[in-house]
Amino acid sequence: MPLNNTHAERVLILAPRGRDAEVVSSVIGGAGATCETVARFDDLVKHILAGAGIAVIADEALAGADVGSLGSWLAEQESWSDFPFIIMLSRRMSKADIALKSALAVLGNVVILERPLSAETLGSAASSALRARRRQYQAREVLEGRQGALEQLAAFNGSLEAKVDERTKALSQANDRITAEVIEREKAQQAMSQYQKMESLGRLTGGVAHDFNNLLNVIQGSMDLLLLTNSDEAVRRRVTIAKSACARGAKLTSQLLAFARNQTLDLRPLSVSELFTNVMELAKPLLGPSIEILMSVGDDADLVAADANQMEMALLNLAINARDAMDGRGLLIFQSSTIFASAGELPEADYVKIEVSDNGPGMAPEIARRVFEPFFSTKGVGKGTGLGLSQVYGMAQQSGGAAFVRSVEGEGATIEIWLRRATVPHESLVDKANLHALAGLRILLVEDDELVRAGMADALASFGCVVRQAACGAEGISELECRRPDILLTDFLMPGITGAELAAKARALYPGLPVLVATGYADMSAIVDALGDNVVLRKPFQISELASAVARVTLKSADRRAV
């Protein structure tokens, strides 16, 4: 209750008999106090709550009064308050006045005046009680001021703590960002280093593959000619062994080129059971005796449209990853099943789902979400390029399928490769092509390697083709300017004029001229970009594949003319 409130120093008078209340009010009011008469004891609490400085009560008002509500209020008043009462006794209290004594005890801060009393005594007592009440109000103000200061201090401390916390949080976030940036920069530097290594490897393998595939092509072509011209079974058996060695060399070259990640996939119907068998032969020495391998090929799930070399590399990568995850000991399962994709990221079609599962520790969800990212690896620095699973994912997408990962921590992991289901095995076009139709074809052969050129010329001559030879692109242009061939057969990577430039010159001289590119160069995507839809024959090739390519390019040209 504020001091300027007129009710704060109001004097409440409860004297129910005669003119006592009027007399008391006149005496106390004469000293300048505001007095108000209360008719009943039950109304006293209400008036006190409305604001009062003291209460003057005649003892007869306490007789039989219920002081419980007033006592409750007095017990709950604030710490600064001790409400004063002046009790006017009409007689001296005796031991028998137990009820009156109890009432006085409840009131607490009591000044007792015996009647009759003089006006000076009553006025002095009232003034004294009011002064005491004012000091209580002053104490309240001091306490409230102190409490306000404490609240302000607490608010300031809270604000200061909040600012400190905010600044600490900002510094922590800045530190985290810097740390993350440093980590990302280190990862980027490591990724760039890995990329440069892979780029260097790609350039190296591209150059090596060109020369190595040329050598293999000479050997394989010679072996094919021997098989065509020699009926001695012993010779044919040895030639067949040599051809198998050439095929293994070609596969080794293709697998090395896979690390350069720049080959165009050769999608053909591929037997999953044969694929699993080949991978098991390659994987067993790498996995060791402590890993058990199980393989299962489902019904109608044995043929897929895929690149055989790339699929072998993909499954071998998955097997090695599983070995590392299982710490060299566990169970590795290869299985295939037919599945129909009706929604999602794949077009509606029949697919073969190839699964590679292990019973290792599995992966956390945040790791499983990133396993197909290039250069992402859970292995230490120098223990992996982080390209294995991204290569699997890229190969699956290039093949018209997709790759997925399923893993539960503590229960192993499964990599799924979805590929289009094929219905018939691959048949070489040479089996269908009428070799007599190749007889008489005029072919301009441009190849800078003399041995390769001689072997290809002999093979084409065995089909009845009329072959003109050129040792480089410039000689090829001279031959083209002299006479139009039926087919231009050229290497891609040659000194001076490349196969792409030669093909462009030939098309300028003779629009629609069929072009067949035979190459051992690694970057097949560059060949496709340069030559468009021209037929590409990859070295080393068998004579049957050469015949197929010649037949294919001839039929393609005939179809164009028919249109």
Share of the chain above pLDDT 70, in %: 82
| Common-topology check for domains 6-117 and 267-420 | no
Cis peptide before 540 (omega within 30 of 0): yes
470, pLDDT greater than 90: yes
Cis peptide before 116 (omega within 30 of 0): yes
Mean pLDDT of the 3-21 span: 81
414, pLDDT greater than 50: yes
Q: What is the pLDDT of residue 432?
A: 44
Helix axes 119-229, 450-462, angle to 10 degrees: 60
pLDDT digits (tens, 9 = 90+) for 175-191: 888 988 888 788 777 76
Mean pLDDT of the 289-309 span: 85
CATH T-level fold of 197-263+429-563: Rossmann fold (3.40.50)
Q: Residue 461 carries which side chain, given as an amino acid letter?
A: A
pLDDT digits (tens, 9 = 90+) for 493-534: 888 888 888 988 998 999 988 888 888 765 555 566 656 656
95, pLDDT greater than 70: no
Q: Which of 205-214, 238-247, 392-401 has the lowest mean pLDDT?
A: 205-214
Mean pLDDT of the 248-266 span: 60
Most confident of 87-91, 435-439, 453-457, 476-480: 476-480
Q: 380 or 295: whose pLDDT is higher? A: 295
Q: Residue 536 carries which side chain, given as an amino acid letter?
A: V
Where residue 482 falls among pLDDT bands split at 50, 70, 90? very high
Mean pLDDT of the 436-465 span: 88
pLDDT digits (tens, 9 = 90+) for 66-88: 888 888 889 888 889 899 999 99
251, pLDDT greater than 70: no
Per the CATH hierarchy, to which homologous superfamily does domain 6-117 belong? Response regulator (3.40.50.2300)
Q: Which residues contact 499 (CB under 8 A, 6 or more apart)?
A: 446, 473, 490, 491, 492, 493, 517, 519, 527, 531
264, pLDDT greater than 70: no
Q: What is the pLDDT of residue 164?
A: 87
- Is 0.75 topped by the overall pTM? no
The domain segmentation of the chain, as residue ranges, is 6-117, 197-263+429-563, 267-420
Q: In this structure, which long-range contacts are made by residues 396-404, counting pairs with CB atoms below 8 Å and at least 24 apart in sequence?
A: 396/314, 398/265, 399/265, 399/267, 399/305, 399/306, 399/307, 399/310, 400/267, 400/305, 401/346, 401/351, 402/345, 402/346, 403/372
The hierarchical CATH code for the domain 267-420 is 3.30.565.10
Where residue 374 falls among pLDDT bands split at 50, 70, 90? low
Q: What is the pLDDT of residue 253?
A: 66
Q: 52 or 92: whose pLDDT is higher? A: 52
Q: 200 or 346: whose pLDDT is higher? A: 346
Dig out the tokens for 26 from the structure.
């006149």
DSSP characters for 109-123? SEEEEESS--HHHHH
Q: What is the pLDDT of residue 424?
A: 61
CA angle, 116 then 118 then 119, to 5°: 130
Q: What is the pLDDT of residue 431?
A: 46
131, pLDDT greater than 80: yes
198, pLDDT greater than 70: no
Dig out the tokens for 373 from the structure.
């990212």
Where residue 210 falls among pLDDT bands split at 50, 70, 90? low
Q: What is the pLDDT of residue 563?
A: 42
Instruction: Calculate the average pLDDT of the chain.
Output: 81
466, pLDDT greater than 90: yes
